[in-house]
């Protein structure tokens, strides 16, 4: 058994005839527990089916804004520091049904549409509009130039 006292039929953690989480994983504990292989403490991770290597990193996939063509996006400037993206999308739905809205660093963001006519409507109708007390600048999306100058 895994625990010394459990060898005598008593586990100090659970009582007579019962095993604790340290004892029940032992391979010779009479069919109890999760065992089946080599006994390991609960805190030790195994290499097999564990969650090691499955990190919780941010931004591994592309957002809908990055997948959308540049002709179907508008650039938004003058956004507040904190705001609801649903509220931003609702504000831009005045010009046409938006598919995605996001904010970035420095009060900039983007809103995506399905047609170029909606993009044009957003630029003409919402440029200079007030969103949560801030005056927005809305312009055509232009891809940021690369550091090489091309």
Tell me the domain boundaries of the chain.
64-139
**CB under 8 Å to 147, separation ≥6 — which residues?**
none
pTM of the entire predicted model: 0.56
CATH topology of domain 64-139: Alpha-Beta Plaits (3.30.70)
Tokens found for residue 54: 């499955």
User: Which helix (H) or strand (E) covers residue 137, if one does?
Assistant: strand 137-140
CB 37 within 8 A of CB 30: no
| Total length of the chain | 150
Q: Tens-of-pLDDT digits for all 150 residues of the chain?
A: 455 555 566 666 665 555 566 565 554 444 444 545 566 666 655 555 555 555 555 556 678 888 889 999 999 999 999 999 999 999 999 999 999 999 988 899 999 999 999 999 999 999 999 999 999 999 999 887 777 765
Tokens found for residue 82: 């904190």
């Amino acid at each position: 058994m895994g625990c010394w006292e459990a060898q005598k039929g008593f586990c100090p953690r659970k009582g007579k005839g019962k095993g604790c989480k340290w004892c029940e994983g032992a391979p010779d504990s009479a069919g109890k527990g999760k065992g089946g292989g080599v006994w390991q403490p609960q805190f030790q991770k195994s290499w097999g089916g564990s969650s090691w290597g499955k990190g919780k990193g941010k931004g591994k996939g592309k957002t809908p804004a990055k997948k959308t063509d540049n002709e179907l996006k508008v650039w938004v400037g003058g956004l507040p520091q904190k705001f609801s993206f649903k509220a931003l999308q609702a504000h831009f739905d005045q010009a046409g049904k938006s598919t995605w809205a996001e904010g970035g660093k420095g009060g900039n963001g983007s809103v995506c549409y399905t047609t170029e006519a909606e993009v044009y409507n957003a630029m003409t109708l919402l440029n200079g509009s007030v969103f949560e007390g801030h005056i927005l600048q809305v312009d055509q999306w232009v891809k940021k130039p690369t550091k090489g100058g091309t």
